[in-house]
Structures are given as C-alpha cells and as structure tokens.
Structure 1
Amino acid sequence: MDASKFHIVIFPFMSQGHTIPLLDLSKALSRRGLKITIITTPSNALSIKPYVSQHSNIHLREIPFPKTQGLPEGCENMSQTSSPDHLLSFLNATKLLREPFEATLKEMCRHGDPPPTCVISDSFLGWTNASCHSLGVPRLVFNGMGVFAMAVKKALSIHQTHKGATHDGDIVDVQGVELSFHLLRRDLPRSLRVSDSGISEFFLEAERSDLGSFGVIANSFVELEKDHVLPLESLYGNGTRTFCVGPLFLYDLMEGDQNEIGHNGPNPSFKWAEWLNSRVKGKSVVYVSFGSQAHLRDEQLDELAYGLELSGEDYIWVVRTKTWRNPTNVVSGGTKGLIVREWVDQKLVLALWAVGGFLSHCGWNSVLESLASGVPILGWPMQAEQHLNAKYLVEELKAGIGLESGSAQDGKVVGREEISRGVKELMRGERGRKAREKAIELGRIAKRAVQVGGSSYKCLNEFIQSIG
C-alpha cells in the first residue's frame, strides 16, 4: 500500500460527541501515513487544532457557518446552544453548509495533492452523499450510534412499521433486523415516535439521503454487534460495506500517543481526582454523568441528589447546569459523595480503580468508554437513540441494568426511591455483579480489537484497501 496516494476528507457534525470519535479516526489513519483533511467551521477549528496538532498528516479546511435566525450569536456547535428549542434551528443551519462544502471539495478534486480518495461525513450531514456522488468521490457515512441502533433506525425509516404501534407498550416490528428481545414503542427515539415534527422530518431525510453510500464507518467492534452488521449492510443496499473499527478512542492507548488510561492516575490537582484516589475500597464508587446535551429540570436533579444519598453508596456526580442549587441536607464533597461542576475526563474517571459503576444516559460514546474499562452501567436513557442503546446493553449484552421505569422519557420525573434501588442493585446486587463480570469480559475484547491483528485493526486496514 502506497499511503502517499491516499487523501481522506472528514466532515464531522458540529457536536463534541460526533466530532471527537472522528478525530480519533483521523489520528489512527494518520499513523498509517494517510493524508487527512478535516472540513469544519472557524470556531470548531479552534477546538480541533490542539487535539490533532501532533499529527502533521492532518490538515484543517475552514468553511463559514451560516448566520441563522433562532440561534445565539456566534453559535457554531451544539454545545453553544442554550436551549433544547435551538436544536431544529441548528440542524437546519447545517444544510446551508452544502454550497461551501461542495466548493471546497471541488477545489480539492482539481488541485489536491493527491485529490480526495473518499469523504467520511457524519450521518446528520446526509446531503453530502449527493454532493460527493456528483463529483465522483466515494462517500462513507459515520454514525455516532452503534450498529444495532443504526440498523433499527434505518429499518424503521425505510419500512415505517413503527407507525403501527400507537401505545408506548406496543411491540414494534423491525423488518430486516432480528431481535432476541421485544422492542417497544417507548424504546424508540422521539423523532420516530412523534412523526409530525420538524426534527423528525430532518432525521428521516438524513436517513434516506445516505442510502447507497459507499460504506459505513462504525465506532464499534464486531464482537460486540456482529449479529447486526449484515442486516445494516442489506438495508443500505448497493453493496455498502460496514467497517467496525472501534472503539476509536482506544487507538491512542494502543499505538503510543499517551500512557494507558489510569496508569499514572489523573492530575491530582483536580479535586475529583484527589477525592477518587482517597477511596480505600476498589470498585466502590458510582460515577454519575449524563453527557453534554441532557437538560434535567431542577426537580429531577433534586430527586437524583436525594436518591444517591439514600443509596448509601459513594458517588461522584458531574452536574452540567450552573443554576441548580442542591438541597442543603445533601452532602457535597463529604465522605460519601462529591458533586463536580468542572470538566472531567470521563475516560480517566471510568478507568480508575475506585469506580465500580456508571449511572449513565447511555450515549454510545459513554457506553463504549464504560465497557472498555470493564464498568457496568445503570441505564437512564433520555433522548435520541439512548433508549435503544440501553435496551441492547441490558437485554442483549447483559453488561448493564436499567431503572425500573426504563427512562425519564418525555419529562417524567424519576423518584429518589427508584434511583436508590437502582444504584444499590448496580453496586451490590446480583444483577449488578453479573453485569460487572460481563463488562469486564467485553473490556478485554474491546482492547484486543484495536491491537495489531484484532478485528477492528483488520477492519481499518480493509477500509483503506477498499478505497485504494
């Protein structure tokens, strides 16, 4: 393979959860000698540059983010939106990136050295499939979800069989995807359950517009989701291949960019690191975090605070909102719990000896990070495909357990008693013990997958060969 002949263009969606895995992919490809160009907007470029600065093969091309009514001034990333009401405006704004994207890609096709071999773009940017096709450049879709969730969403967007389920407890028929458990209407993303909204229309359009893509890049590993790879490929049609190349964040660890996670411990100047390192008993702390996009009401945060205290378990809880004031009789930073409002490196936290469970929204990145560290999950899905991830994690992988109510869907407040029971079962119960054993097993497999000769390492090589 002559790596100098390859030039891979990567176009991430402007959200941390979507961008960071593609940056990890960029670095993994760069180490193999391939030229990478990341197309992004000026504000996002500022945050990307430090992440890839040590890789001379990775280049950035900036295109302007459109000024759009309904968004805060200067907003170029989902993290800069201040309300859930901004979501549709932001999604629609990304469609206006088509003209500058096509102009940039056309210029690289004419004058690139070498010209683009392929484009890998986010599934939310489905219109890039037609843009690439018009210029004769193969396009691969990157989806921040796992293979199972991708297959379910793709099948339902094509066949629309979910419309026959009208009540939350109704079983959904997913044509083309074999399930070992019942999938209920309540397990589906809101964009599928509420079909007459602008957000639903956006995602349906995105799902359909990427049909016929050259390939799918999946941040997963074959051993985790092998039963759903072929069904996903058949749903795409036209010989589309799925390349399971993850967990992408593990390549840094296995290929020498940094020390193994948790080997030397995090910077002790962080209060959370000092607190965790002070725990005497291993696997005794439950880590609580719901990602960057979840918006919990103060009433729900109160119930969570009381529920954690009621469980009697040690916990570290990352609180994103700056306005919530926790109840006065809940200890913060005491002997049992620590509430953190600063940024934490989740991968480092999960890999520390003290952490034995994760109360999570079940975003796919969080699922992968937790499993890679052998930490079982108490699933509390809230939005997007998180309900599908939680269902797969609990019912298929057996590496997690769920809350009794299943989720906090559609604004339902989960009570402190339910939270307490779930945390205690995760940390000390029989189901929690079995989930921990399975998570540890999957963690070993995940690490092997990205090592030389592993399934994901081979898939990455097969992807390169397929576009050569």
Structure 2
Amino acid sequence: MGIIPHFLVIPFPVLGHINPITQFSNVLIKHGCKVTFLHTEFSHKRAQISAKDGGSKDHNNINYVTLPDGLDHEDDRSDLVKVLLSMIKTMPSLLPKLIEDINALDSSATTMASVHSLPKLMEDGIIDSDGNTTKKQKIQFSPLMPMMDPTHFAWGSIGKVFFDHLYQQEIQLLNLAEWWLCNTAYDLEPGALSVSPRFLPIGPLMEIDNNNNKSSSFWKEDTTCLEWLDQQQPQSVVYVSFGSLAVMESNQFKELALALDLIDNPFLWVVRPDNKDNYKYPDEFHGRKGKIVVWVSQKKVLNHPAIACFISHCGWNSTIEGVYSGVPFLCWPFFSDQFWDESYICDVWKVGLGLNKDENGFISKEEIRKKVEKLFGDEGIRERSLKLKQVTRNNLAEGGKSKKNLENFVNWAK
C-alpha cells in the first residue's frame, strides 16, 4: 500500500479563492488523498465550520484548522491590502508549529501567465519597478491570447503593496514549485497555458450537486430562488450577480435597478447583505418582474433551464461557472483580471457582450436594456455558448485533458 499524500491548502480569505480551493480539496479526497484546510479564524467563524481542539473534520473529510490573521475583530476585512499585510506579518511564524501539530489555488491560466511574465514586462519597459504601466500599447503574452491592456493587469487596481508582495515573494515561491495548477481547461486558454510547461489545467473544478458538502459561503444561501425559477419560462430569466467583493457606486446601483424594471424579462438579482447600508433602491423602482436575494448557490442557478443570460462582474469563478452552464454573458468588470476575462468572453469565445460607459464611466439604464435585448436576440451567441459548454465539459469526462492532468498530478504526489 502506497503512502497517502497529505495536502495543506491555504486560500486567501475571500470567497473567490475559498470556493475553488474547497472544490479542489474535495477532488483530492475522492482520489484517496488527505486534505488539511487552513482558514483564518475570522473566515472559519464566518463560514460556520465547527472547530474542536484546533481542528475538526466535517462529513466531506476535509480537516479544518485555523490561524489568526492578526487583525482585531472590529477591523475592516474588506480592505484587502490591510488583510494581506496583517497575514504576512502574523501567520508565517505560526505555520511551522501548526504543521507539526497536523503531522503528530483562483486562478485562470491567463492570470498565471501575467505573473510568470512579470520579469519580462519589466525588462521590456511595459511596467516599472512599482508595477505602474509605462507604455500605452496593448500586448500579447502569446500569439493565441487576446491583446491585453496593461492598465488592466491583475495587480493594477489593487496597488503597489500587492505588486510588491507578488513580485518580491510570490514569484520566487512559485518558481520553486514543480506545478502551477490552474482552474481552467486547455480548450479555454490554450495560449496562456503555452507560456510555461509548469501550467497544469485541471478544471473547471465544478460540483453542481453539493448537498452532501457544507457550504463554504459567508452568507446563507437563498433556496427559494430555485423554486421561483421553476415557475419561469425556459431561457427567460436575467441573472445578475457581481460576486463576493465588487461594490457598485450608489447612483450606478439605482440605475441598474431601473434598467431591470425596463427589461421585459424576469430577473434574479443577488444583492449581498454587506452592501445593504450603501445600496438604496430608487423610489420609482418596482421590481415586480423579479426576485432579489442576498446570496445563492450560483452553480445551481446557472444550470437552471430558466436562466437566459448572466450579467456578471466576470470574476474567474463566475466566468467558468457560466461557461460550464452554457449561459451567455453581459460583462460588467470592476477590477483586476475581470477585464481580461471580459476579453475572452467577448473577443475570443464570443459568448457575450460588453457594456459601454459614458464619459463619466457611468452605464445608463438604456445601455443595459439595449444590450440585454441584443443578447436575447443573438442566436449566434447562444449557439457558441452551448458549444463551449460541451467542449469545456469534455475536458472533465473520461479521457479528457483536465481529468488526465489531475490523475497524473495525484499519481505524481503519491
């Protein structure tokens, strides 16, 4: 009998990182591996995972342990720079002891390719030593990738602290690794995956029926929306969700509400509870055709036959979940890699449309309505979405590239 590989997984404490790492952990367990999942104490409590004696096992056999993130309970953890700096300062010195006690990866290939290419970007003068863009022309990391705007680099909207951490520490650590596991499929990002032989696509990591697993969500999922969707016509509902981090300016939020009133179709709109103090619905908003919820099981929603399109921030998790479900997109990126994901959706895969902003960066209700109507009337986008869905799923089927890569990785670990 061979040695059972034991993985320690450490996600950054936001849902966009926790969810795919949880899915990856479940896959590893199905392949006979052991997994210890390191939460920050704050995230552990938010996710309502029971802890006992420094760690607990739930019914999906993931062993959960925690370390403090170094912040006080009342500190603002939506300030990601503050969270990152505190974690860097606090957690590394505690990790060796945790590992001793135990023994007694969100990311698209394109984002990984941009990280891998950082030294070359600096050498070519595309960015300076602080990560600032110095040239305005668009670039390509490889011939099969879309042209990229340097101002949309993943670290550009988060600031110098993240760039310094990325360049000074993460790249050096990544270069020690034999594999960079990517939550993607070869057919989705062949150009990005060609940048380095270390890139190993093992996705999309997707578990639609997760009734037997505890949710990793920070908020209670609304299950009544699935019953409401059952009452709607097939391919009739506009699904609206901007993920777990993006925050919309209050006037833009009101404009979106009015746009949903203008659209003839019913809508399902996710408005996170942490934004309730910032988001105020306009007085003239009716919302009679739709349903507003605080959080949902997005994979289940996107796979429901009533969903017609997805108004999305284009985070990578949402992007691959929409692709996996064959749902056309209306793209509304906010920051980081979301602009690159929009490029893939609109320009490479051609399964969605973008929204045009006015000179003040504002998206009008008329623009939203116009693009939704255009999306509903575009059979080409619908057909390409369904084709991409099948191509993506083939990677996870028996003999598929992602399935083979994952099996090879587990065998390598064993």
For Structure 1 versus Structure 2, the TM-score category normalised by the shorter chain is: 0.7 to 0.9
- How many angstroms does 1:192 deviate by? 3.1
* Helix, strand or coil at the partner of 2:311: strand
- How many angstroms does 1:271 deviate by? 4.2
Amino acid at match of 1:365: N
Residues 171-207 of structure 1 deviation map (CA, whole Å, 9 limit, x = unaligned):
2334x52245432244434x33786x33433333354
Where structure 2 has 5 or more consecutive residues not aligned to the other structure, the ranges are 51-55, 214-220
The partner residue of 2:63 within 48, 59, 66 is 59
* Helix, strand or coil at the partner of 2:127: helix
Structure having greater relative contact order (Cα 8 Å, sep ≥ 6): 2
For residues 435 and 210 of structure 1, what CA distance do their matches in structure 2 show? 41
Write the mapping of 1:17-166 to structure 2, written as runs, cut at 5 A.
17-46=16-45, 47=47, 49=49, 53-56=58-61, 58-67=62-71, 72-73=73-74, 81=77, 83=78, 86-96=79-89, 97-106=91-100, 111=103, 142=105, 144-156=106-118, 158-160=120-122, 161-163=125-127
For residues 363 and 166 of structure 2, what CA distance do their matches in structure 1 show? 28
1:183 aligned onto 2:148: yes
CA gap of 1:437–1:210, structure 2 versus 1, over 3 A, is farther
1:386 match: 338
1:465 aligned onto 2:414: no
- How many angstroms does 1:461 deviate by? 0.9
The partner residue of 2:194 within 194, 218, 230 is 230
Give RMSD over aligned pairs: 3.1
1:289 match: 241
For residues 222 and 321 of structure 2, what CA distance do their matches in structure 1 show? 23
Amino acid at match of 1:361: H
For residues 453 and 48 of structure 1, what CA distance do their matches in structure 2 show? 38
1:365 aligned onto 2:309: no
The partner residue of 1:347 within 299, 304, 313 is 299
For residues 425 and 146 of structure 1, what CA distance do their matches in structure 2 show? 28
Identity %: 26
For residues 258 and 172 of structure 2, what CA distance do their matches in structure 1 show? 46
For residues 388 and 148 of structure 1, what CA distance do their matches in structure 2 show? 8
The partner residue of 1:303 within 231, 238, 255 is 255
The partner residue of 1:322 within 267, 276, 282 is 276
CA gap of 1:325–1:44, structure 2 versus 1, over 3 A, is closer
The partner residue of 2:397 within 444, 451, 459 is 451
1:426 aligned onto 2:375: yes
1:413 aligned onto 2:362: yes
* Helix, strand or coil at the partner of 1:412: coil
For residues 110 and 162 of structure 2, what CA distance do their matches in structure 1 show? 22
Amino acid at match of 1:216: W
For residues 222 and 116 of structure 2, what CA distance do their matches in structure 1 show? 46
Residues 127 and 134 of structure 2 are in contact (CA less than 8 Å); yes or no, is this contact kept in structure 1?
no
After TM superposition, the score normalised by the length of structure 1 is 0.75
CA gap of 1:48–1:443, structure 2 versus 1, over 3 A, is farther
Residues 222 and 296 of structure 2 are in contact (CA less than 8 Å); yes or no, is this contact kept in structure 1?
no
Aligned residues: 392
* Helix, strand or coil at the partner of 1:329: coil
